[in-house]
Structure 1
Amino acid sequence: MKVIVVGCTHAGVTVVTEVLKHHPDAEVTVYERNDNVSFLSCGIALYLQDTVKRLEDMFYETPEHLTALGANVKTEYDVLKIDASKQQITIQNLKTRLISTDTYDRLVMTSGSAASVPPIHGVDSSKVLVCKNYHQALAIKKNAALSRQVTIVGAGYSGIELAEAYANTDHQVTLLQGDEQVLGNYIDPEMSARIVALLRQHGVTVHLSTPVTAFATKGPTDPVVIKTSKGDFNSDFVVVCTGFVPNTELVQGQVALDRNNAIITNEWLETSEPTIFAAGDACAAKFNPTDQPTFIPLATNAVQQGRIIARNLFGHVQRYPGTQATTALRLFAQTLATTGVTLKRALASGIAAASVTYRGPYRPLFMPQTSEVVIELVYAKTNHRILGAQFYGEYDLTQSANAVSISIQNKNTIEDLAFTDTLFNPFYDQPVNYLNQVAQMALDQEG
């Protein structure tokens, strides 16, 4: 079996290593346009605030090791064309500029995503940067060292993490968000208000409902003028964090794509062209809370899908179970963890949903110290199925988010969660665990 893998970050690395582990006789070739593989972009904020000293530590795999495993690794090669009818690709060596072709029995699209850059005037300024890959992170670090004022445009996970990083390095940080809340894909307005208050408490200037309309830069030593619907802002430099778009131009017109140009796959992660598979940020993932394919650019999804593809290249073995988009964020000594869909998005999807919010100490008051945790649980009113949850507090509730993620994947109900057997130890929780309590609140609400 001749397998070609296009792109080699999380999904691509996983496909290569898993295929060669279970099928060492397979002929696996990797084409990657960068000079590196496996960059963990989630560590960029840690590097920018000097928690991690070397950006190179964000790589967990090397071309040399993949080669030692048996892969034919072609870094700094750009795939120019894919011809699904001929099972052939056209590639260019970016060093020599030579163009050649290669053929495959199976092609795996793990081409990832790119930073979404809004089509507004001035966005191409040298002082307006995006944050996604290794080289972009180096550029941002260099600019920050020469700057006092930093403006972040966009308040998704990347924007929030960068705002914290620069607040921790004594920069003057402004965060501009186009709509009325932060982290809109992951939390509801009440939780957003908590995050905004925390950012402001640590010196970050946050402006919501403030879409950027243009950037203007007069000269190399002049600040960037950021034009918005609510007036102009000046900044030494700007980082745009307005989301990601799938890199799928190579297969447009050859496989089915959704309205966001993400590749649509079946339960085996095959595309509409059976010889082509797709994983990671290039494709839409089955989002279990809504049972709809959704573009969810998370490394966890990429790795899971990569493992499944490696099993299915040689026949249908493992179905893709879908995702809950479970995430966590450490922000100024507080933890935010989320799983599933928010109430706002559930209602927008046409689901008759409701939510309840638990607030209370995570462990008994007789302990020397405790702290408040906040849990919002989202569920369907019709069948009581659990749809999502949001956790916030100083205490680490990330594994509780994982527990609710399992409940969503298994289609459990608020009844199931209310009466799930959970441990009690006064060091860790209440006699009735907070997950049981928030589910019981949902039952009480439904009468």
Structure 2
Amino acid sequence: MRIVIIGGSHAGLAAARHLKKSDPKVDVIIIEKSSVLGYVASSLNLVLEGYIDHLQDSRTATASELLSEGINVMLNSEVVAIDPKRKLVQFKTSTASFVQEDEVAYDGLILAMGSSTFRTEFSEDVEAHITTYKTIAQSRNALANIRSASTVAIIGAGLIGFELAESLSGQQKEVHLIDRMDTLLFRYFDQEIAEILMARFPDNLRIYLNSNVAHTQQDDRGNYSGIVLSNGTQIDADVVIYAVNPRPNVALVEDFLALNLDGTIKTDDYLQTSDPSIYAIGDLVSIPFNHSDSSLYIPLVTNAYRTGIIAATNLLASVNDSPKIPFPKMQRTVVSKLFGYYVSSSGINETEAPYYGFKVDSITKTFHSSAFFSSEENFEVTLKLIYDQESQIIMGGQIITSDRGSLEIINTISTLIQSEATLQQLATMDYFFNPTISFPLHFLNQLAIDALIK
């Protein structure tokens, strides 16, 4: 049996490795158009902050590692067409000395082409001066532009934009962060958490909400000299970077596979597409969001891995006539480090709840390190729980802290959300106690009790 995977990103690698571990006899082939496998899209930040020296160092696998695992890899190979009737993938391999066209037959096909940063809302003059950094090639260009710039404008005040803004502010550059929304970090954090974070904003970071880039401005010679926002504000930006969630790469299959209204590939609960032999994973698909009937497009690495593993399992199951595994609803659990704080969220936040028709309430409480397990360090953790007003089912949670170890709390909250635990259940949940390690009442018990009293 031969399974072809188009795309050597995180989702493609997860699927390939799970296939080989589950059935070593399966012939697995990855076709990847670049020379890097498992490239981390935020590598630009890692270079700017000194975690790595070169962009190409930020990868999760090499071709030799996969070959040692029995997985065939074709790098610098771009798929040009798929023939679903004959079950053939046509591709073109390019090197410095030659270009070769070939094709490979498949019994099963997994689509993992990932996503790209598409921009359609800008005028032509603005579009010509926008820099993106999704791929390694784009990141190299962005890095060169940033290093020679003194002022950088970032479009998008979500996690992607803020992570880049922090990296750039540490480079002693003037940073302008622009967003069309009226709140920071929309969909991830509410005002209470954002305000704590804002207190740490450096002087060289400026925020513009309810704004967008209208057009560029020119100097006396007609050369580009900056941008003008929709409210008339002029910014003399040397570089303009687009830091908004990307969109799925579906051009290869849009003529023969069903798509959703958001442009993602339509799949069933098992990640099988409208063609029974083809599965779609990673940034190509929307996945069900907890406590709602909606599927959201949330291109996270964690979702890429989970979709890859589940699609691989179900593709083998369809051949072996064994039970399939449905993809579970997600909580959209994220974490980041911003301006000296660790921030994390899971589930629905209070700001976006009305968009889904939910009536929610919340409780926010700051705990000192003494309330946690025995620790000699002095830190605080601010926790927020969002819950349904009527049923009191926990629907979301947020954390901000200077203590990295406390981030694990968000995984507990994610579990509570997925299991549809209530405040009453959390208030009396069984947590350990030892007088030399902890207090009799766990801080999550206390948070739930305070919410019930409220």
Mark yes or no: TM-score above 0.5. Answer: yes
- Which residue type is aligned with residue 211 of structure 1? N
Any conservation in 2 of the 1:117–1:242 contact (CA below 8 Å)? no
Any conservation in 2 of the 1:358–1:437 contact (CA below 8 Å)? no
Structure 1 CA distance for aligned equivalents of residues 381 and 146 of structure 2:
35
Hey, what does 1:338 align to over in structure 2? Answer: 345
Equivalence map 1:76-87=2 (5 Å): 76-87=76-87
Structure 1 CA distance for aligned equivalents of residues 204 and 151 of structure 2:
12
Equivalence map 1:98-247=2 (5 Å): 98-121=100-123, 122-125=125-128, 127-199=129-201, 201-216=202-217, 223-247=225-249
Residue segments in structure 1 that go unaligned for 5+ positions in a row = none
Hey, what does 1:75 align to over in structure 2? Answer: 75
Equivalence map 1:2-401=2 (5 Å): 2-95=2-95, 96-121=98-123, 122-125=125-128, 127-199=129-201, 201-216=202-217, 223-315=225-317, 316-364=323-371, 370-396=378-404, 397-401=406-410
Report the alpha carbon displacement of residue 348 of structure 1 after superposing the two structures with TM.
0.8
Report Cα offsets for 1:130-174 as digits up to 9, x if no partner. Answer: 121222222222222211111111111111011100111111111
Report the alpha carbon displacement of residue 257 of structure 1 after superposing the two structures with TM.
2.2
- Which residue type is aligned with residue 215 of structure 2? A
Structure 2 CA distance for aligned equivalents of residues 163 and 189 of structure 1:
19
Structure 1 CA distance for aligned equivalents of residues 434 and 53 of structure 2:
38
State TM-score, norm by structure 1: 0.91
State the secondary structure of the residue aligned to 1:181. Answer: coil
Any conservation in 2 of the 1:116–1:243 contact (CA below 8 Å)? no
- Which residue type is aligned with residue 164 of structure 2? L
* Paired positions, count: 443
Report Cα offsets for 1:417-438 as digits up to 9, x if no partner. Answer: 2222234579987653332222
Any conservation in 1 of the 2:126–2:213 contact (CA below 8 Å)? no
Structure 1 CA distance for aligned equivalents of residues 375 and 336 of structure 2:
27
Matched, 1:409 2:410: no
State TM-score, norm by structure 2: 0.90
Any conservation in 2 of the 1:118–1:242 contact (CA below 8 Å)? no
Report Cα offsets for 1:66-90 as digits up to 9, x if no partner. Answer: 2232223122222222233332333
Report Cα offsets for 1:329-348 as digits up to 9, x if no partner. Answer: 11122111111111222221
Hey, what does 2:320 align to over in structure 1? Answer: none
Structure 2 CA distance for aligned equivalents of residues 363 and 220 of structure 1:
61
Report the alpha carbon displacement of residue 198 of structure 1 after superposing the two structures with TM.
2.6
Structure 2 CA distance for aligned equivalents of residues 375 and 188 of structure 1:
11
Report the alpha carbon displacement of residue 319 of structure 1 after superposing the two structures with TM.
2.9
Any conservation in 1 of the 2:153–2:241 contact (CA below 8 Å)? yes
Any conservation in 1 of the 2:226–2:236 contact (CA below 8 Å)? yes
Any conservation in 2 of the 1:77–1:92 contact (CA below 8 Å)? yes
Report Cα offsets for 1:52-109 as digits up to 9, x if no partner. Answer: 2232321120122222322231222222222333323332234444444332211101
Structure 1 CA distance for aligned equivalents of residues 45 and 435 of structure 2:
35
Structure 1 CA distance for aligned equivalents of residues 2 and 137 of structure 2:
32
Report Cα offsets for 1:268-314 as digits up to 9, x if no partner. Answer: 22123221111111111122232421111000111112112222211
Structure 2 CA distance for aligned equivalents of residues 119 and 394 of structure 1:
37
State the secondary structure of the residue aligned to 1:256. Answer: coil
Structure 2 CA distance for aligned equivalents of residues 367 and 50 of structure 1:
30
Report Cα offsets for 1:346-402 as digits up to 9, x if no partner. Answer: 221112322221233242599876333222211122322211101112233311100
Rate the CA distance shift 1:100–1:216 in 2: closer, same or farther, 3 A.
farther
Q: CA RMSD in A?
A: 2.5
**Identity across matched positions, percent:** 26
Report Cα offsets for 1:184-204 as digits up to 9, x if no partner. Answer: 1211233233333432x4531
Any conservation in 1 of the 2:32–2:75 contact (CA below 8 Å)? yes
Structure 1 CA distance for aligned equivalents of residues 436 and 268 of structure 2:
45
Structure 1 CA distance for aligned equivalents of residues 309 and 69 of structure 2:
16
Structure 2 CA distance for aligned equivalents of residues 427 and 167 of structure 1:
42
Equivalent of 2:450, from 438, 441, 444?
A: 441
Any conservation in 2 of the 1:362–1:429 contact (CA below 8 Å)? no
